[in-house]
Amino acid sequence: MVGHTQPERDERNIIDSLQLSRSRSIGPITFRQLVARFGSAGAALKAVPELARKSNNTSRFALRSREEAAKELETINRLGAWAVPLNSNDYPAALAAIEDAPPVLIGLGDKSLLLRKTIAVVGARNASANGKRLARQFAADLGAGGLVVASGLARGIDTSAHEGALNSGTIAVVAGGLDIVYPPENQDLMEAIAANGAVLTEMPPGTRPKARHFPRRNRIVSGLSFGALVVEAARNSGSLITARLALEQGREVFAVPGSPLDPRSQGGNDLIRQGAILAESAEDILRSLEEGFQKPVISPQTFDKSAFCTPANEETEIAKAHNDIVSLLSHTPVAVDELIRQCQLSPAAVSSAILELELSGAVDRLPGNMVALKSGTAARPAY
């Protein structure tokens, strides 16, 4: 019997991952849990219809068709792009370490940049002339120090950071599909990055960026990176979301101090007050990260399948876990570990029950190993 070649196996794995991750009720965290439990996206695809059926609410679950997933990959190939699933050796280790890592990365340009040490440089869209100059200089100097610069291709600081690192290596993470340029005035820059760096997204081709997509993009910018530098940021700006995500992901946060009279500097100054490292030059950042570079500061999480595999004789326990979990949950997130303690059931049974409830659309799994009832779901036993 003739076996599949490596390219065929890789293509099948990409299509499996696209089909599973694009299915309704399966987000990045659920995807990871399913692959952990069943060993691969392909094996999970065979199992999820039965899991959804057990939840008695299959109306909210819909598995994406194989044809649609294959068509998406064809479109990716037609754009001259590539797709990297979570379990690929080409997937960046730092990003794989975050619990809501994208199941599939889609990119244009130099894929090898994903495997290099990266620093995020972000800041205000309505940046000052000095802020843009500083961002460009920081990016150029960080690139000269051996780092790839990641940012979000937005106006202002992001644009300047990409320009400064264009010759040394830069990754632009976009909120929509690779075939949608946003903002439109950055088309030439996006094409230059695709030719000399890499453009990256988790969204399928044809996706127009919406407001809800930008925080998701920000988690990729920070997740790729060993640290995040904020050059200018107003209070409550999107750049501070990136900084907060970086802290939650265990990354260093750096900030350039600015005038207290400029609202664009208030967010960065606040970060410094809260413990961010003050950065007056790229050398401050390189020196701070140097010790961490002697050994990996981020290790990709490995799937501990034994924690999720539930023997068939525990089906009764899983059914009980369904009832207990839904009765304990509200629309306020709670830690899964707390549910395990209060249910007094095995972690495997609780994990299995949560998976089934997710697939039914009854609960949302959130970063930080938290879960909550989905809006519209009653806080009462499901069975």
Domain limits at 162? 106-293
| Assigned domain for 381 exists | no
Instruction: Name the domain count of the chain.
Output: 3
CB 196 within 8 Å of CB 162: no
Residues 68 and 26 in one domain: yes
**Tens digits of residue pLDDT in 198-228:** 999 999 999 999 999 999 999 999 999 999 9
Residues 226 and 205 in one domain: yes
CB 230 within 8 Å of CB 255: yes
Residues 77 and 110 in one domain: no
Residues 84 and 117 in one domain: no
SS3 (DSSP) at 305: helix
| Assigned domain for 151 exists | yes
| Assigned domain for 62 exists | yes
> Which among 227, 258, 293 is the end of a domain?
293
What's the distance, CA 349 to chain centroid? 27
CB 161 within 8 Å of CB 121: yes
For position 345, what pLDDT does the model report? 74
pLDDT over threshold 60, residue 313: no
According to DSSP, the β-strands at 104-109 and 82-85 are antiparallel
Residues 68 and 40 in one domain: yes
Residues 249 and 111 in one domain: yes
| Assigned domain for 300 exists | no
> Which among 63, 90, 117 is the end of a domain?
90
Residues 187 and 282 in one domain: yes
Residues 36 and 86 in one domain: yes
Residues 162 and 280 in one domain: yes
CATH number of the domain that 261 lies in? 3.40.50.450
Q: Identify the bridge partners of residue 272 per DSSP, sorted by sequence position.
A: none
pTM for the predicted model, two decimal places: 0.84
| Assigned domain for 298 exists | no
- What's the whole-number mean pLDDT along residues 330-343? 84
Residues 157 and 214 in one domain: yes
Residues 136 and 245 in one domain: yes
| Assigned domain for 96 exists | no
- What's the whole-number mean pLDDT along residues 134-148? 97
**Tens digits of residue pLDDT in 76-110:** 999 999 999 998 999 999 999 998 999 999 999 99
For position 355, what pLDDT does the model report? 80
> Which among 293, 324, 351 is the end of a domain?
293
| Assigned domain for 101 exists | no
Residues 359 and 240 in one domain: no
Half-sphere exposure (Cβ direction) of 35: Cα atoms closer than 13 Å: 28
Q: Is 107 exposed, middle or buried (0-12, 13-18, 19+ CB in 10 A)?
A: buried
- CB atoms under 10 Å from CB of 194, counted, come to 19
